[in-house]
Amino acid sequence: MNSDKNSRHVRSAVILAVSLIAAASYAQHNQPPELCQGNYQTEEAAKEQLAKFAETYHDLAQWKARAENIRTGILRGAELLPLPDRTPLNPIIHSKRQFAGYTVENVAFESFPGVFVTGNLYRPDSPGGPFPAILCPHGHFNAEGDYGRFRPNMQRRCATLAKMGAVVFAYDMVGYGDWKNAGWEHNIPKALKIQLWNSIRTVDFLTSLKEVDPKRIGVTGASGGGTQTFLLAAVDDRVTVSVPTVMVSAHFFGGCNCESGMPIHKSPSHETNNVEIAALAAPRPMLLISDGQDWTKNTAHVEFPYIRNIYGLYGAGDNVEYVHLTDEGHDYGYSKRIAAYEFLAKHLGLSLIKVKKPDGSIDETFVTIQPQEDLYAFDDSHPRPTAAVKPDDKHMPWD
């Protein structure tokens, strides 16, 4: 009798344990993913998080397994798993202007049907090729006269890289430039998905150009453009060189929906931060540019050592570098551009000689700063196609 009673108690305990495990599993896999936005954690908590992450791998095989899980988590969180169909780009290229050592054209192409990526294509005016190509996403720069891809500093960067021998594309974020003219707001819920897919399709566009070498693709941007830089390099291995500027941080996750408004950092199946996302570029060359007045102030002793250890697992420690400008702030100013020019020249085979003064310094004075109205892809002479998706459409192609 006591034996039967004990057996019933054991069976009840087992059933209860199984039920609790099942309930916990259900809760884990059915809880909403957690968004990690802005200053999501303290600097000290960020260091502890990186130490915890480092304990999950001890050799290259273990890191590759973790990296693949993170990459999957990013794509799933951004609703890009599986990737959408690569529909026809239908590029529109017009209004070619000739300047000193480079040309500029206004461009639009479709990332989804009716969704236009808009920007400017800078090309070397010298014959030859194939040339490397460089994507230049812009950040959240909103001041009049210093706005989006039209910023003088952006034009200087793109023109200088073109004169050095690269095909360069500067393109709008959602709600900026041509998007803004069409009535779009920037901070829409799925901005991250749209922008990351736009960047992937930009690689498609650039590699479709006959003069572009598909084995030499770079990307660089600052602030929100820095986020696009390391996200694209993380999920698209066609990117061969990346220079994320003033953005890679262990404690700051980006404060805009286009950076952290979808669950790319944390879900029931993965947890990471922007340091590890940047490290997914390994072993491909990467330069971190940071400063002393924003969330990248700890690069030298927090973010860079962690990333360099991962590069070391590949035997490629020399492929990752950093430039830290302690007295500078959150921008893509001249000294930051100089560092990028040198790194991109080294790894993409560009010519610094073409933009150097006799004293060896980089000269950007040859660049013609064009007025914003000359740089739009769509205007009275080149109207937006009637099939273009509108902000008030009930059904969006990315849904």
Q: What percent of the chain has pLDDT over 90?
A: 90
- Asked if residue 380 has pLDDT above 60, the reply is yes
Compute the distance between CA of residue 48 and CA of residue 126 in angstroms, rounded to an integer.
Answer: 51
CB 229 within 8 A of CB 244: yes
Average per-residue pLDDT for the chain: 93
CB 204 within 8 A of CB 86: yes
CATH class of 92-374: alpha beta
- Asked if residue 362 has pLDDT above 80, the reply is yes
Compute the distance between CA of residue 136 and CA of residue 228 in angstroms, rounded to an integer.
Answer: 9
- What is the structure's pLDDT at 31? 60
- What is the structure's pLDDT at 127? 85
Give me the amino acid identity at 20.
Answer: L
Give exposure, 72-82, as e/b (b: 16+ Cβ within 10 Å).
ebbbbbbbbee
Residue that has been written with the tokens 């291995």 in this structure: 237
How many residues does this entry show for the chain?
A: 399
Could you tell me the pLDDT band of residue 62, with boundaries at 50, 70 and 90? very high
Give me the amino acid identity at 216.
Answer: R
User: Which pLDDT tens digit goes with each residue over 117-142?
Assistant: 999 999 999 888 899 999 999 999 99
- Asked if residue 258 has pLDDT above 80, the reply is yes
CB 325 within 8 A of CB 332: no
Pair of tokens at residue 27: 């809760």
Q: What is the CA radius of gyration of the chain?
A: 23
- Asked if residue 208 has pLDDT above 60, the reply is yes
Provide the 3-class DSSP secondary structure of residue 387. coil
- Asked if residue 227 has pLDDT above 50, the reply is yes
Residue 7 exposed, middle or buried by CB count within 10 Å (0-12, 13-18, 19+): exposed
Compute the distance between CA of residue 382 and CA of residue 364 in angstroms, rounded to an integer.
Answer: 31
- What is the structure's pLDDT at 34? 86
Average pLDDT over residues 208-220: 98
Residue that has been written with the tokens 């590029």 in this structure: 91
Closest CA to 349 of 132, 122, 158: 132
- Asked if residue 103 has pLDDT above 80, the reply is yes
- What is the structure's pLDDT at 24? 38
Pair of tokens at residue 180: 């803004």
User: Which pLDDT tens digit goes with each residue over 26-48?
Assistant: 334 456 668 999 999 999 999 99
User: Which pLDDT tens digit goes with each residue over 326-338?
Assistant: 999 999 999 999 9
